[in-house]
Structure 1
Amino acid sequence: MKKLGIYVHIPFCIRKCLYCDFLSFSEGEERRALYFDALKKEIAYSAKECSGYETESVFIGGGTPTSVDPDYITEIMKLLKDNYNILENAEITIECNPGTADFSALKKYREAGINRLSIGLQSANDDELKRLGRIHNRKQFEDCYQNARMAGFENVNVDLMSALPGQKISDWENNLNYVLGLDPKPEHISAYSLIIEEGTPFYDLYNDEACKDCSLAALPLPDEDTERNMYYLTKELLGKKGYHRYEISNYAAGTYECLHNKRYWECRDYIGFGIGAASLMNGVRYSNIRDMSKYISCFTKEDSVSDIKSGDEMLKDIRENTEKLTETAKMEEFMFLGLRMTKGVSIKEFRDKFGKEIHEIYGNVISSLREEGLLEVTEDSVRLTDKGMDVSNYCMAEFLL
């Protein structure tokens, strides 16, 4: 039977961070209730097209899923279990921000079948957290982390963010050592650099040439060399403590790689529920509309019987940007997504998937990047070197046909 990943988008948060460009916002209880009513209908109506799949992973993301009443989440979990063939050993993750989930809530999530928690620490320095516009402090993270363990979570990820305004290498090293000093240590660590995205308060601050070096009370962003050294330090420190890097920004202890995210990088089927959620099903990529009012209205039945739409029609109304991937597009995605992982892409899998040799399609690119020391080829893999990981965006762009 085919395998599936499920993503559920909870767009609500208490306050949007200064760097955040995700589809998230603060809403009152009435709007939240309307959203979850619509979300549950989307999940129920979509079950038919997923009947031929076994679900290997579920990821509840946001926003801040733990900022809503936990009963909403337990209802979603029950609906998924009742309507989808979720494997007994499926990885089921919920994103959590410190200060938004107490022990009681975490216990409810665990009892509902959620077995992986991803906690957004970002920094162990309270001043850095304030600069990011985060709502929590280090003490709240510590409480959340210990409560999660007491609630029964044995698979916990901690998010850390580097290259923050005013951050020195020593500050980043302190953050890494803090997380590595947790007891028990997290099973997974995501360590990535701050990216200034258009449409965020940080973009307005740092995109203004006049104040590029004096934003946020004279706290400039680290330069390129400093950011790269932070990157090297991350790999070195985490490696010494038994974490292996399996993707550009992700490190796992033992077998605790994130199965759901690997599904994206390996171009395997997944379906997304909620506003803005993306899906890839049977070679067709599409996304949901981003307007919450429109999303809710699509699942609201009118009084007149003649106006009532079928579930299939409602699903059609919320889906957009539908694209049946061409063979060329599939090859491109196979390469530039797969190269995010340290294991790279499989030569055999490319041959089995596309009926062609990888060197037949990408021979010139592979040779060129190998000569630059950015790529290496083994008996059955093509993967980026450490140097290639440094300029991964450049390397991946070379595989666009």
Structure 2
Amino acid sequence: MKRLGLYVHIPFCAKKCNYCDFYSLACGEDEKKAYIEALKREIREVSKNVNDEYRVYTIYFGGGTPSIIKAYYIKEILDEIRSHFKLYEDDFFPEITIECNPRTVDIEKLLVYKEAGINRISLGLQSTNDDELRLLGRIHTYEDFLDSYAMVRKSGFTNVNIDLMSAIPNQKISTYERSLDELIKLNPEHISSYSLIIEEGTNFYQKYAENAPLVMDLPSEDEDRAMYELTSFRLAEAGYKRYEISNYAKKGYHSRHNTSYWERVPYLGFGVGASSLFENERYDNVGNLKEYIKNAGISDVRRNITKLSLRDEMSEFMFLGLRLIDGISKQVFTKIFTFTVDEIFGDVVKKHINNELLIDNGDFLKLSDRGLDISNYVLSDFLLD
């Protein structure tokens, strides 16, 4: 039996956030309905190339805002998946997650999700400060979020993630700490805490990256680092285990879907712009909504198909696996690739151990606390030419 993850992209939003560089847009009901039909066609067609060895053990609805569409669309998609894929089923699997934004869910919608088999909710908060939420371009207030969170709990969901963002323009350490404290009081099972990155193609990029005087609105590097360290300390104190660079969970509640990405478990992405890793190939779906709706399940909507070489696979094993706090197993590396880590990456490993950025615990190699702080620098060294 081989594990398989499924990602379903729902690109629709009420309004695009100022920091968002994902493919998302506002559309009418006719386009949404046509998109769901295209998704189901793609699911049916792709399933023909998946043999019986694979079992789906995670399903993730991301976006966009998946909760903005009618709940029965989500149920239809899950019914289609169950009809064409074999699911790995026990007390915990498959883990089925849907991303929801405040003001886009109600009790009726949540109960449909639950009946359809969704067992994990990811709620986008970002901040408990309404001024910061407005600046980010969110459509909700903190009060709206609290209402949505209460409905999620009332609907019986016991596995909830909340997203939190730091290094927001004009954000102070004290205001971030208040958000962190409020979040801890809510007692979710999982917290994803990210530092804002100004991505090209976003409203923030135009405002800050292309306007030098306004860069002063962004927290300094020292402030960003202080927020980062505060997150790790306070969440550990509150009983959350950090298991990946940006993710914290109570015991037994780590995100199995996201962990599968870092462990290079095969996954199939459905929907416009969705990415996949399957049978040693990486590829993206076409990134235009109209083109996707027209062709999905009828002709090949895959783009940028790359057959991974052995060197590609080894690099990915290292720079993805080292994102996990426990690091990578050198024994597993050798079992998969026959080579040892030292044979392929000996000089890089030695360099970062000497710089106290990597720790060798015998079988496991992992980032040190300092290495986690500058993880991008360390991980980039594992890219093989």
Amino acid in structure 2 at the alignment position of 1:375 = L
Secondary structure of 2:268's counterpart equals: strand
Task: Give the Cα–Cα distance (whole angstroms) in 1 for the partners of residues 383 and 306 of structure 2.
Answer: 17
Where does residue 218 of structure 2 map in the other structure?
221
State the partner residue of 2:18: 18
Equivalent residue, structure 1, for 2:304: 321
Quick one: distance in 1 between partners of 2:135 and 2:332? 45
Q: Which secondary structure does the structure 1 equivalent of 2:60 belong to?
A: strand
Of the three residues 119, 122, 130, the one matched with 1:118 is 122
Residue 124 of structure 2 aligns to a residue in which SS?
strand
Task: Report the CA distance between 1:211 and its aligned residue.
Answer: 2.7
AA aligned to 2:210 is: D
Task: Give the alignment partner of residue 324 of structure 2, picking from 330, 341, 347.
Answer: 341
For residues 278-297 of structure 1, what are the structure 2 equivalents within 5 Å? 278-297=275-294
Give 2:197's match in structure 1, choosing from 195, 198, 205.
195
Q: Does 1:166 align with 2:167?
A: no
1:33 aligns to 2:30 (yes or no): no
**Cα distance in 2 between the residues matched to 1:162 and 1:210:** 21
What is aligned with 2:378? 395
Cα distance in 1 for partners of 2:145, 2:293 equals 34
User: For 1:196-211, what aligned pairs fall within 5 Å after superposition?
Assistant: 196-211=198-213
Contact kept, 8 Å, 2:59 with 2:96, in 1: the verdict is yes
Give the whole-Å Cα distance in 2 for the aligned partners of 1:30 and 1:392. 44
Post-superposition offset of 1:191: 0.4
CA distance in 1, matches of 2:37, 2:84: 16
Relative to the length of structure 2, the TM-score reads 0.97
Q: Deviation per CA, 1:172-193, whole angstroms, max 9, x where unpaired?
A: 11011101111xx100000010
| CA-to-aligned-CA distance 1:222-265 (integer Å, 9 cap, x gap) | 00010001000000000001001010100010010100001111
The letter of the residue matching 2:238 is: K
Q: How many residues align?
A: 380
The alpha-carbon deviation at position 82 of structure 1 amounts to 1.7
Q: Which residue of 1 aligns with 2:261?
A: 264
Residue 367 of structure 2: which of 381, 384, 394 is its match? Answer: 384
- Hey, what's the Cα distance between the residues in 2 that align with 1:368 and 1:47? 45
- Cα contact 1:205–1:211 (8 A) shared by 2: no
SS in 2 for 1:35: helix
C-alpha displacement of 1:84: 1.3
Cα offset, 1:377, TM superposition:
0.4
Percent of residue pairs bearing the same amino acid type: 49
Matches of 2:337 and 2:215, distance apart in 1: 49
Contact 2:164 2:194 in 1 (8 A): yes
Q: Distance in 2 between matches of 1:181 and 1:363?
A: 45
Q: Which residue does 1:303 correspond to in 2?
A: none
Contact map agreement 1:246 1:343 (CA 8 A) in 2 = yes
Q: Is the 8 A contact 1:51 1:85 kept in 2?
A: no
Distance, in Å, in 2 between the alignment partners of 1:34 and 1:96 is 21
Q: Aligned equivalents of 1:382 and 1:145: distance in 2?
A: 38
Distance 1:51 1:68 in 2: 31
Contact kept in structure 1, 2:285 and 2:303, CA below 8 Å: yes
Look up the equivalent residue of 1:207 and give its one-letter code: A
**Alpha-carbon distance between aligned partners in 1 of 2:279 and 2:215, rounded to the nearest angstrom:** 48
Determine helix, strand or coil for the equivalent of 1:86.
coil
Give the SS at the match of 1:49.
coil
Does the 8 Å CA contact 1:120/1:160 hold for their aligned counterparts? yes
1:94 to 92, 98, 103: 98
Structure 2 SS opposite 1:61: strand
Shift of 1:209: 4.0
SS of structure 1 residue aligned to 2:49 = helix
Deviations 1:181-221 (A, max 9, x none): 11xx100000010110111110011113443346xxxxx01
- Provide the secondary structure at the position in 2 that maps to 1:161: strand
2:274 alignment partner in structure 1: 277
Q: How does 1:244-263 map to 2 (within 5 A)?
A: 244-263=241-260
Q: Give the Cα separation in 1 of the matches to 2:181 and 2:272.
A: 37
Residue aligning to 1:305: none
- Cα drift, residue 83 of structure 1: 1.5
Q: Deviation above 2 Å: which 4+ runs of structure 1?
A: 208-214
User: 3-state DSSP class of the match of 2:265?
Assistant: coil
Residues 16-55 of structure 1: CA deviation (Å, up to 9, x unaligned): 0011101101011111111111111001111222242111
The aligned amino acid for 2:236 is G
User: Which string of whole-angstrom CA distances, capped at 9 and with x for unpartnered residues, describes residues 78-123 of structure 1?
Assistant: 1112221122221000000000001110111011000000000000
Q: Which amino acid aligns with 2:143?
A: K
Aligned to 2:68: 67
Which of the residues 177, 185, 188 maps onto 1:186? 188
Give 1:152 shift. 1.4
Structure 2 letter corresponding to 1:236? F
SS for the counterpart of 2:4 is strand
Partner of 1:85: 86
Corresponding residue number in structure 2 for 1:129: 133
